[in-house]
Amino acid sequence: MQLTVVLPAYNEEGNVERAVREAAAAVQPLVDGFEIVAVDDVSRDGTVATLQRLVAEFGERLRVITHPVNQGYGVALRDGFQAARGALVFYTDSDNQFDLRELRDFLPLMSEYDAVLGYRLDRQDPALRKFTSRVFNTISSLAFGMRVRDLNCSFKLFQREAIQSLPLETTDFFIDTELVARLHQARFRYVQRGVRHYPCTAGHSSVRPGDVPRTPRSLVRIWRGLRAEPPPRTSLP
């Protein structure tokens, strides 16, 4: 079983080396082979220099994609997905808020499912952020006719053919919602599993209070886009 780990990175100088090292250490015992695809979205700190130094150490197990201009979190993920060569594709953020060893409970499920969607247990975020997230998940699930506990949890595992078949368009953090909504519309088989969540010890979130007013507009845009498209192919054989 070959696995690609996609790590989007933006100003993660304080996190990215640990993220790469812990990802490699976590997945190596679980799969036959792996690669890490780190996508830098024009960081202004030492993220790229750190990644380039790690490439010299990890060789072909670490590939780095560098955007020429800042394009957003969604584009970073999309580029990582399309570059993946493993039969399975996993993504998480580079802020070290998850223990990737928990993939040991996700991987066996891929014999039955096209995707396993993580949801955060004992989420380590401020109360207001947790409240707004619950509201967002409720509204989004109703809008798209699905029941997903934690759309924005960046601990998701896919069959490569499934994730690469989704015509993703979102450029920002709403990519999480779009990809799950498209997965659901396409009738791919998915299941949800809880994962432990840890405090962020370096860096900061790229989500800003100014992003909140855009939430309804983004949901409507995704909803309209899905309604205008014919249903794509269903679950993989």
**Percent of the chain topping pLDDT 70:** 89
Does any domain span residue 233? Answer: no
What is the SS3 assignment for 89?
strand
> What is the pLDDT confidence band of residue 12, given thresholds at 50, 70 and 90?
very high
Give pLDDT, residue 145. Answer: 87
DSSP 179-210: HHHHHHHTT--EEEEEEE-----SS--S--GG
Q: Which helix (H) or strand (E) holds 232?
A: none
Res 208 pLDDT > 70: no
Give pLDDT, residue 64. Answer: 97
- The Cα-based distances of 115 to 59, 68, 147, 165, 180 in angstroms read 28, 31, 15, 13, 10
Does any domain span residue 108? Answer: yes
Q: Greater confidence, 109 or 214?
A: 109
What pTM value is reported for the model?
0.87
Res 225 pLDDT > 80: no
Res 79 pLDDT > 90: yes
Give pLDDT, residue 236. Answer: 56
The C-alpha atoms of residue 138 and residue 140 are separated, in whole angstroms, by 6
Contact yes or no for 45/13 (Cβ under 8 A): yes
Mean pLDDT of 162-179: 93
Res 174 pLDDT > 80: yes
> What is the pLDDT confidence band of residue 76, given thresholds at 50, 70 and 90?
very high
Closest CA to 40 of 13, 61, 21: 13
Phi, psi at residue 74, to the nearest 5°?
-65, -40
Q: Count up the domains in the chain and report the number.
A: 1
Give pLDDT, residue 235. Answer: 53
CATH number at residue 222: 3.90.550.10
Long-range (24+ apart) CB contacts under 8 A made by 200-203 are 200/95, 200/96, 200/97, 200/124, 201/96, 202/12, 202/14, 202/15, 202/95, 202/96, 203/11, 203/12, 203/13, 203/14, 203/15, 203/95
pLDDT per position as a tens digit, 125-145: 778 877 877 888 888 888 888
Does any domain span residue 236? Answer: no
The C-alpha atoms of residue 34 and residue 82 are separated, in whole angstroms, by 16
Does any domain span residue 237? Answer: no
Res 186 pLDDT > 70: yes
Does any domain span residue 234? Answer: no
What is the SS3 assignment for 55?
helix
pLDDT per position as a tens digit, 44-63: 999 999 999 999 999 999 99
Give pLDDT, residue 65. Answer: 97
Contact yes or no for 167/204 (Cβ under 8 A): no
The residue segments making up the domain with residue 77 are: 2-228
